[in-house]
Amino acid sequence: MLKEHHVVLKNPRQVDLRFASCYPNLYRTAMSSLGFHIIYHFLNSREDVWCERVVYPYYRSLESSTPLKNFDMIGFSLQYEQDYFHLLEMLEKGGVPYRKKDRDHNHPLVIAGGPCATANPLPLSPFVDLFIVGEAEVIMDELIDTYLELDDPKGEIDAFKDIKGVYVPDNPVQKALVKDMDQACHPIYQVVPETDDKNLIPALGSSFLLGVSRGCTRGCRFCMAGYLYRPRREASLNKLFKIAEKGYDATGLQKIALIGAAVSDYTRIDELCAGLLERGFKVGTPSLRIESITSGTLESLQQSGLKTITLAPESVWKVRKSLNKPVSDEKTIKVLKKALHMGMNIKMYFLSGSPFETYEDTKELVTMMKDLLKLSPRKNAIRFSVNPLIPKPHTPLQWEGYDVKEIKSRLNYIKSQLKGYPLKVDSPRSGLIQYVLSTGGLEVADLIEKSYKNQLSFRDWLAYSTRRDFGLELPWKNIDVGLRADFLKEEYDKMKEGEITPWCEETACYNCSSSKSLCK
């Protein structure tokens, strides 16, 4: 049983465009996505548009049970590469041919956005008409206005080429971002589910999602989002307090989930947490950066009843340096001890399989994890998750391959040495599929279709796992995310030498941008 509050209902005869906002993952994940709420709020603020939500595995809208085939425009939010298969399934079950060559002017226009679409839309280009490259608020109005002006949007697809942030396949595009977070879309009347079904409870619980910041310039060399959404932008403290208060008046939610690429890097994080507590709110956040966690932040989270925090040391010191995440062991241990002393549990995330990582590094990682567990005064107070490192577009790792045998060997070693410990290890095979979906070109579309139809073997994915030479043209060459052409190669060379690029917000600018205006 599911009851939703603040659902937007409109008369379909009184709007010019019906938009299906699709989340190709489970409801509990969709409703903890601030981006999904933003699209819903932003589009429904227009009188001429009715935006409804469609969430996997369903193909009809939550608002009116309308099948996808009856909408004018369908938009997918792509947060995870593995959701590409769900995109095909939702279209097909919703009565829409998933290959765009099989669609005509009678079918909806299919668009996609989110980090996966921004980074490398090529694998999905045979299925999706247009892609949003960047952040939707600064793109969607012009896109919809253009759509409404055209007699045949599919037949006149080139009319969208001149919109900044809209990728028409085979054409160059520049990302478009919100410049001022105080002027960004901050949904107040967020849809609040009421249910006794555990599978439908949002991953972040009954929380009001507060967008603190976007972007991150720490420069972790494996982190795609850190390169895609530069520069880091923050909402002002007073703006955040006003949004939280309005959100409470609208929804009655007293728990605030702070959302951002690097929430604990927010300039006035302790003041924000303390101010929210003073106003009667409870505060939580999905994850924290070890290097910017303060005692004040932990105390605010504890007072809010947060029982578990998530930290990501990633690996041992040598590998962290190579990946440009120079968090010292001393800082990690200090934060860990503080959180344990406060009665908190800790989830810790690690990576395996980074370039230039040796077996000695893997052995040292096992020793480090065992030493960290010795700090725990309670059983299972510390839990580990080890994931294969997946090279991503627009990062210094974008040329790297994925050696599934090597990664499997390393992960098996870690599991063998930590038997009986609270440890979760991701599948190296799933990592390979994610790698191919992330870094492949148009040819990967056939793999997606065959896999969706269960006509593909694991060997077929292996053929696309080799590294690329530096001189080769990359599939995402037409996607301009604002980085200087040779910057990522310079970072790759530094990674090889274990050289750190200092955080530009604490030192000098290192000119990562192809435009001097990126951080202005």
In what side-by-side order are the strands of the sheet with 382-388? 308-314, 345-352, 382-388, 423-425
Q: What crossing angle do the helices spanning 269-278 and 295-303 adopt, rounded to 10°?
A: 20
Beta-carbon contacts of residue 282 (< 8 Å; ≥ 6 apart): 254, 255, 256, 303, 304, 305
d(CA 355, CA 64): 50
In this prediction, residue 147 has a pLDDT band, given cuts at 50, 70 and 90, of very high
299-357 confidence digits (pLDDT tens): 999 999 999 999 999 999 999 999 999 999 999 999 999 999 999 999 999 999 999 99
Beta-carbon contacts of residue 32 (< 8 Å; ≥ 6 apart): 202, 203, 204, 207, 209, 257
Per the structure block, which two tokens stand in for 214? 């976007």
152-204 confidence digits (pLDDT tens): 999 999 999 999 999 999 999 999 999 999 999 999 999 999 999 999 999 99
What's the mean pLDDT when you consider all of the chain? 96
Alpha helices in 402-474 (DSSP H): 404-417, 428-439, 444-452, 458-462
Percent helix, strand and coil across the chain, each to the nearest 5: 40, 15, 45
Q: What's residue 516's pLDDT? A: 59
d(CA 250, CA 336): 37
Q: What's residue 485's pLDDT? A: 85
d(CA 166, CA 173): 7
**Residue 15, SS3 per DSSP:** coil
Side-chain half-sphere exposure of 94, counting CA atoms within 13 A: 31
237-291 confidence digits (pLDDT tens): 999 999 999 999 999 999 999 999 989 999 999 999 999 999 999 999 998 999 9
User: If we measure between CA atoms, which residue out of 59, 170, 110, 84 comes closest to residue 446?
Assistant: 84
51-98 confidence digits (pLDDT tens): 999 999 999 999 999 999 999 999 999 999 999 999 999 999 999 999
Q: What's residue 517's pLDDT? A: 55
- DSSP letters, 480-500, are E-SB-TTHHHHHHHHHHHT--
Per the structure block, which two tokens stand in for 229? 């959404």
Residue length of the chain: 520
Q: What's residue 208's pLDDT? A: 98
How much is the pTM? 0.96
Torsion angle defined by CA atoms of residues 442, 448, 453 and 457, in that order, rounded to the nearest 10 degrees: 100
226-244 confidence digits (pLDDT tens): 999 999 999 999 999 999 9
457-477 confidence digits (pLDDT tens): 999 999 999 999 999 999 999
d(CA 373, CA 384): 9
Q: What's residue 518's pLDDT? A: 60
